[in-house]
Amino acid sequence: MMMRKTSLILLGAAAGVAVTLIASSPRIVLDGARAQAAAADTYRQLSLFGDVFERVRADYVEKPDDSKLIESAINGMLAGLYPHSSYMDSKSFRDMQVQTRGEFGGLGIEVTMEDGLIKVVAPIDETPAAKAGIMANDIITHLDDEPVQGLTLNQAVEKMRGPENSKIKLKIMRKGQEKPIEVSITRARIQVRSVRSHLEGDDVGFIRVTQFNEQTTEGLKKAITDLSAQAGDKLKGYIIDLRNNPGGLLDQAISVSDAFLEKGEIVSTRGRNAEETQRFNARAGDLTKSKPVIVLINGGSASASEIVAGALQDHRRATVIGTRSFGKGSVQTIIPLGSGNGALRLTTARYFTPSGRSIQAKGISPDIEVLQEVPEELKARTDTRGEASLRGHLKAEGDEQTGSQSYIPPDPKDDRALHTALDLVRGIQKNSAYPPNPKTAVPN
């Protein structure tokens, strides 16, 4: 029997994806007369689709594009299932692969679009862009002598990416310089930084995880090693910030959780049939050497983020602080459809925390809820509606909950969740939820 390689994914509130390679094979779920009846009915429906397709091709007021008709039909079928199932054309599939790999040939700059031009947010350290002197707030007006005006941000980014050791010429406008700056840059392999870390004061390690791609676990390990070396004996604990992290790779969510656990289940996934249940367990070795851990979440923490928060919460390894997470508790499988045909993203399972909780349409509730002070002009835009508000979502097991605050103050001094976490780690504040008691862990 032919085996098709597929990829398990978790998709969050935004464009996060999660990939673990599995092998799946076609399944026979009916037999005998029932199978024949079902097949006959299915073929009648497919015949109806063929009739409609031919009528549209023949009689629509303008000649339609056949491939677009088929693509729209596929998307319509998947849209009727569940918000996170979809068809990706070949370009979207390539983009998803780049995102999940977390590395590509490029220049090493974070960019945004402003007034139709590309503005540099920041060059990434030790990349070709940084070495060439590209600076934050530079405006890129031309790429290889072609004007940027008229391109979308994605089109411009695609032009700046390319094979390692290939060259591209940028024309840049810089504040304080009358003439444009022209610079030729040789592309190199760029790794997306999904983990950033620093010491808060000299005694608390702060680790921010923005997505779960193939680089995340290694980035986390390096952050823990670096922070431990910098702080030495002064290190009191770690804060892991998963706020507004939309998700990512399932295997990375598992290995990130494992970094803090000595043993026990991390997550289980359950498909349509009982035999499809998979359980993922921690291996010995807590990289933080049992230091206290606090996890920050909010309404924008989804999917893989919720696996990590749920595992550490159930094992009483970490105290979870913030607002209720998004509630995206399903697993998607990426099924490549052959050369040039893109891929199918299909919801195939739900996932459950170690105690057997499904977070689908519910989310992870923090041990300590902390609401942020939100500027008046932003109040309408700082609550995430949550999984339960999506039309056609998988139903929760029990009561559903929707909507949660997802605002993070730009200035850390205004960040109430962060300051609550710091005060708890330093013993300035007391709370019965910190430090958590491992003896009260509730895994199955």
Give the closest residue to 390 by CA, choosing from 363, 359, 347, 361.
361
What tokens were used for 81?
Answer: 């299932």
Helices 250-258 and 216-231 sit at what angle, rounded to 10 degrees?
20
Options 258, 314, 367, 415, the catalytic residue: 314
Within 10 Å of residue 357's Cβ, how many Cβ atoms? 19
For residue 347, what are the β-bridge partners?
A: 332
First to last CA, the chain: 36
Backbone angles phi, psi at 302, to 5 degrees: -135, 160
Please say whether the dihedral angle defined by the alpha carbons of residues 98, 104, 108 and 109, taken in this order, is positive or negative: negative
Give me the residues paired with residue 354 across strands: none
Q: Are 247 and 10 spatial neighbours (Cβ–Cβ below 8 Å)?
A: yes
Decide: helix, strand or coil at residue 357: coil
Distances (CA, A) of 95 to 15, 176, 346: 11, 36, 17
Q: Could you give the CA distance from residue 331 to residue 345 in angstroms, rounded to a whole number? A: 10
Neighbours of 382 (CB within 10 A): 16
Alpha-carbon Rg for the chain, nearest whole angstrom, is 24
Q: Which of 303, 305, 330, 404 is catalytic?
A: 303
Q: Rounded to 5 degrees, what angle do the CA atoms 295, 296, 298 make?
A: 140
For residue 303, indicate whether it is catalytic: yes
Cβ(402)–Cβ(389) below 8 Å:
yes
Q: How far apart are CA 240 and CA 244, in angstroms?
A: 12
Catalytic residue chosen out of the listed positions 171, 236, 291, 328: 328
Contact 416, 274 (CB under 8 A): no
**Antiparallel, parallel or unpaired: β 383-384 and 4-9:** unpaired
Q: How many CB atoms lie within 10 A of CB 207?
A: 21
Q: Where are the alpha helices (DSSP H) in 295-385?
A: 304-314
Q: How far apart are CA 214 and CA 17, in angstroms?
A: 11
Q: Annotated catalytic, 328?
A: yes
Phi, psi (deg, nearest 5) at residue 385: -70, -25
Catalytic residues: 303, 314, 328
